[in-house]
Amino acid sequence: MSDPTNGEALRFATDLPAHPVSVAVARNFVRGLRSCLDEEQLHRLELIMSEAVTNAIRYGSPQPGDRVDVELVVTPASVSGSVHDRGPAFSPPTGVPRTDQIGGFGLHIIGQLAATWALERSELGNQVTFTL
C-alpha cells in the first residue's frame, strides 16, 4: 500500500439511496482509492463493498427512500469499512452456501475476502464491518 496519508487516517463516508444503481456507485467510491491501495487490495475491497451494499439494499432497506451508509478508513497499515442499513435485524446464514442455491452468498464472500468482518444488529439497523 502506498502512503498518501502522511501517517494519518483518511476517512471517506457517504450515504446512498437503497437502489440497485448504488452498488455501482459504491464500487466507484472504492476505485477512488486507487492511489492508496495495491491492485489486489483494490479488487478485494471492491468485491466486499459490492456484496455489502447489495445485501443492505436487498435485505435491509424495506422502505422507499431508505438510505445505506458507507464508510471507508485508510491508514498506512490497514483499510477498514462499514455498510449500515436501517432494516430489521436478521439472522445471517450459517455454514457454507450450497452450490445449487441462488443468492445468499454475500456474507460468505465477504468472510472469504476480508481479514476480519462482523455483522452487528440493533434497533437502528444492521452494520457489516470489515478490514483487509
Assess whether pLDDT exceeds 60 at residue 108.
yes
* Per-residue model confidence (pLDDT) at position 70: 96
Look at residue 84 and tell me if it is in a domain: yes
Q: Please state the domain count of the chain.
A: 1
First to last CA, the chain: 11
State pTM to two decimals.
0.85
Look at residue 18 and tell me if it is in a domain: yes
Report the distance separating Cα 67 and Cα 60, nearest Å. Answer: 10
Average pLDDT rounded to a whole number, residues 78-96: 80
Domain of residue 16 covers 10-131
* Per-residue model confidence (pLDDT) at position 17: 95
Look at residue 4 and tell me if it is in a domain: no
Look at residue 2 and tell me if it is in a domain: no
Domain CATH code at residue 63: 3.30.565.10
Rounded to the nearest 10 degrees, the angle between the axes of helix 106-113 and helix 39-60 is: 150
Question: What is the pLDDT confidence band of residue 16, given thresholds at 50, 70 and 90?
Answer: very high
Neighbours of 109 (CB within 10 A): 17
Rounded to the nearest 10 degrees, the angle between the axes of helix 21-31 and helix 39-60 is: 150
Cα 103–Cα 129–Cα 69 angle in degrees, nearest 5? 85
Look at residue 1 and tell me if it is in a domain: no
Average pLDDT rounded to a whole number, residues 60-87: 90
Look at residue 70 and tell me if it is in a domain: yes
Average pLDDT rounded to a whole number, residues 104-118: 88
DSSP string, 37-82: S-HHHHHHHHHHHHHHHHHHHHHH--STT-EEEEEEEE-SS-EEEE
* Per-residue model confidence (pLDDT) at position 24: 96
